[in-house]
Chains A and B, each alone.
Chain A
Amino acid sequence: MAANFWTSSHYKQLLDQEEVNVVKPLDKEKGLTLEDFKLIKTHMANYIWKLAQHIKVRQRVVATAITYMRRVYTRKCMSQYDPCLVAPTCLYLAAKAEESMLQARLLVFYIKKLYSDEKYRYEIKDILEMEMKILEALDYYLVVFHPYRSVSQLLQDAGLNDTSMTQLTWGLVNDTYRMDLILVHPPHLIALACIYIASVHRDKDITAWFEELRVDMNVVKNISMEILDFYEVHKMITEERFNAAVNKLGLRP
């Protein structure tokens, strides 16, 4: 259902991490490793953020777009669905789904303006064709739930809705889209993990508040660890490494 997460297609489609971490056979043949696979997705998430910043698209649209992109790659291989086309198209489709129309023309304009590299270059026609393929790949499930709503509500409930906590938590939530967390965990648990990290970081003891919540704190702590692990390694995600990974796919002559 549209407003109830537990009856939504989003909930029903949640995957285990092991299922998300599968490099498709065709990509494997081309030498793509799991590391490469994750790296490309993170890089594409960053790409979507960057485009959205310039086009001035709402955060929620970006989050939905990245979720679409990550869902596509649980089903489709990168050698047939070029990430550099899938990523902007997901932003285009997410804008429609989230009611903030984004013109294909404008999108193509900004891609050209921001990236001179050939591999990002795509025309309107390519975006429109890919839009349909993405709809199909998503099995037409378009409603996505995000941690943002929960964050505001939970912070308020914990009495921690000061600017500093809110901004830190919000930033952490944004960063979770650089990982596959949204495919694996219910959004409110991702929100709690971000609040947990933020509270430790800001020296706020909210153990008592957490204990009152009827959630599995182990899951929350595990998500938090994943996020912290990601911060450890994310500095190693460079343009060079991305290029090396994406070139393995041999997408464009």
Chain B
Amino acid sequence: MGDGNSNTANRTVSTNTKSNEKPEWLQHYNLIGKIGEGTYGLVFLAKTKSPANRGKSIAIKKFKQSKDGDGVSPTAIREIMLLREISHENVVRLVNVHINHTDMSLYLAFDYAEHDLYEIIRHHRDKLGHGINQYTVKSLLWQLLNGLNYLHSNWIIHRDLKPSNILVMGEGEEHGVVKIGDFGLARIYQAPLKPLSDNGVVVTIWYRAPELLLGAKHYTSAVDMWALGCIFAELLTLKPLFQGAEAKSTPNPFQLDQLDKIFKVLGHPTIEKWPTLASLPHWQQDSHHIQAHKYETTGIHNVVHLSPKSAQYDLLSKMLEYDPQKRITAAQALEHEYFRMEPLPGRNALVPSQPGEKAINYPTRPVDTNTDFEGTTSLQPPQPVPPGNAVSGGMGGPHGVANRSGPRSMPIGMRMQPPGMGAYLAPQAGIGGGMNSGNMTMPRGVAAQPHLRRKDPPMGAGYPPQQKSRR
């Protein structure tokens, strides 16, 4: 798409028969390094070379050819299919798609987002030791709802909302703007959707709606609202709201512990309050005696420390309504009085809430500059570069890669286990399979290797114009 190269595809193939040659499209980018790894492939940080957008940061998600010999990964197809149709300020923007015919790999190029909610929450919890200010929480939630409302009104269910999939833009024109990311599991629900488990897909259970945990056969947009409720609570307390231990014995196990965690806080669901509960398979079969179990209700207000009379509490409890039909919708939530009260939500969620208050410097993503697009690691050790000239080519600025610290996160939401989580919570181990924990952290003060970019040819004829479809 977009790069106007489709007409030259054949030529590109024939001139790139040697696998060590750079594909033509790649020459439009300066590769900075690897920023993430997931089940489907790797994620890279790159900068565009085109004169119009020179130095613009791009996250490039590389999909490997699927191992089962079945071509382009269905996840990539879903993601491309949906993101090619949609456009919204609070949804991640797919800039380009590229194919490398030589090794049959597929690359999706996205606008790069420096932060995500997982890292923001972690920074407050582990480094700052204080909560996220009310303005930021409200702005993040409002934008998140705004993006979700757009998706839902276009009949798209995301199905995998969690803090690491919620991106927040770094410094620049869109600073502090929320972008919903990772559409690998998203669906258009014109036709009823089968449960993900039928496709053998694993998603984290902490944000999973109770109707799904109880075996509901189909997804509705309400599952996304439940996840958002969990994320809202997590923004308030800096702790995942329902941290169930995942049962993994069978392909589609019943997640008893996750339900247990929910019931302990919200109380036992009842047929009176949730009439369709009776028809949900796991409730009906009751093989784990969940119907009889008695719960002492903690109450959500005690967990998030909110007054039951507050607007915040009212909105949160409506998002965590058991009955999906009664659960608040994104459109309704945007109208909630919480968003009409001071502080009002804003476009830049990361600016200081009070005049005179200092802005928080959230850490930038660590970049592994030793990994190239093939995913191979060069043996050269990182070269320390004095601060100031670390980033070459006049890019510099806020997206510089020097001085990154701390473990990496999921830049555009590939499913992988966030590092550090293992110690913090045991149950999630193994989600995402092929992750490589540990080896991406860069020591403080170590900058990108300049030669990575110096190697590239100078900016030449420029970037082909965006190929627009007709009409």
A2 close to B469 (CB less than 8 A): no
Segment from A9-17, A205-213, A244-252 that makes contact with B: A9-17
B70 close to A129 (CB less than 8 A): no
Q: Contacts A2-B156, A3-B188 hold; do A142 and B84 have CB atoms under 8 A apart? A: yes
CA distance A11 to B470 in the complex (A): 10
User: A4, A12, A15, A124: which contacts B69 (Cβ < 8 A)?
Assistant: A124
Q: Nearest chain-A residue to B1 (Cβ)?
A: A140
Min CB gap B291→A, angstroms: 34
Query: Is the CB of A236 closer than 8 A to any CB of chain B?
Result: no
- Among A1-44, those with CB < 8 Å from B are 1-4, 8-9, 11-15
Would you call the interface of chain B mostly helix, strand, loop, or mixed? loop
Q: Contacts A127-B71, A132-B106 hold; do A15 and B155 have CB atoms under 8 A apart? A: no
Name the A residues within 8 Å of B155 (CB-CB).
2-3
B154 close to A4 (CB less than 8 A): yes
Q: Which of A9, A92, A99, A127 has the most CB of B within 10 A?
A: A99
User: A13, A105, A124, A135: which contacts B470 (Cβ < 8 A)?
Assistant: A13
Name the A residues within 8 Å of B72 (CB-CB).
93, 96, 131-132, 135
B10 close to A80 (CB less than 8 A): yes
Name the B residues within 8 Å of A97 (CB-CB).
77, 81
Query: Is the CB of A101 closer than 8 A to any CB of chain B?
Result: yes
- Count A-B pairs with CB separation below 8 Å: 99
Size of interface on A: residues with Cβ below 8 Å to B: 38
B188 close to A2 (CB less than 8 A): yes
Min CB gap B444→A, angstroms: 40
CA distance A2 to B84 in the complex (A): 9
A14 close to B471 (CB less than 8 A): yes
Q: Contacts A2-B85, A4-B154, A136-B9 hold; do A96 and B188 have CB atoms under 8 A apart? A: no
Query: Is the CB of B303 closer than 8 A to any CB of chain A?
Result: no
User: B9, B70, B85: which contacts A143 (Cβ < 8 A)?
Assistant: B85
CA distance A9 to B80 in the complex (A): 13
Size of interface on B: residues with Cβ below 8 Å to A: 32
Query: Is the CB of A104 closer than 8 A to any CB of chain B?
Result: yes
Q: Nearest chain-B residue to A58 (Cβ)?
A: B191
Min CB gap B238→A, angstroms: 35
B85 close to A15 (CB less than 8 A): no
Would you call the interface of chain A mostly helix, strand, loop, or mixed? helix
Query: Is the CB of A128 closer than 8 A to any CB of chain B?
Result: yes
Name the A residues within 8 Å of B1 (CB-CB).
139-141
Query: Is the CB of A50 closer than 8 A to any CB of chain B?
Result: no
Name the B residues within 8 Å of A119 (CB-CB).
none
Over the window 89-103 of chain A, the binary record of Cβ atoms lying under 8 Å from chain B Cβ atoms (1 yes, 0 no) is 000110011010101
Over the window 211-235 of chain A, the binary record of Cβ atoms lying under 8 Å from chain B Cβ atoms (1 yes, 0 no) is 0000000000000000000000000
Q: Nearest chain-B residue to A75 (Cβ)?
A: B6
Segment from B96-104, B275-283, B427-435 that makes contact with A: B96-104
Query: Is the CB of B465 closer than 8 A to any CB of chain A?
Result: no
Q: Contacts A101-B74, A103-B70, A105-B69 hold; do A139 and B85 have CB atoms under 8 A apart? A: no
Name the B residues within 8 Å of A104 (CB-CB).
69-71
- Among A127-173, those with CB < 8 Å from B are 127-129, 131-133, 135-137, 139-143, 149
Q: Contacts A97-B77, A129-B104, A131-B72 hold; do A141 and B154 have CB atoms under 8 A apart? A: no
Min CB gap A92→B, angstroms: 7
* Residues of B near any A CB (own CB < 8 A): 1, 6, 9-10, 65, 69-72, 74, 77, 80-82, 84-86, 97, 99, 101, 104, 106, 154-156, 187-188, 190, 467, 469-471
The 4 closest A-B pairs by CB, nearest first: A3-B155, A142-B81, A128-B71, A140-B1
* New A-B contacts (5) at CB < 8 Å, excluding given A9-B84, A9-B469, A142-B80: A14-B471, A135-B72, A135-B106, A140-B80, A142-B77
Q: What are 19 A-B residue pairs whose CB atoms fall within 8 Å in the complex?
A: A1-B86, A2-B82, A3-B154, A3-B156, A9-B84, A11-B471, A14-B471, A92-B71, A93-B72, A96-B71, A96-B72, A96-B77, A99-B187, A104-B70, A128-B69, A135-B80, A139-B467, A141-B1, A141-B85
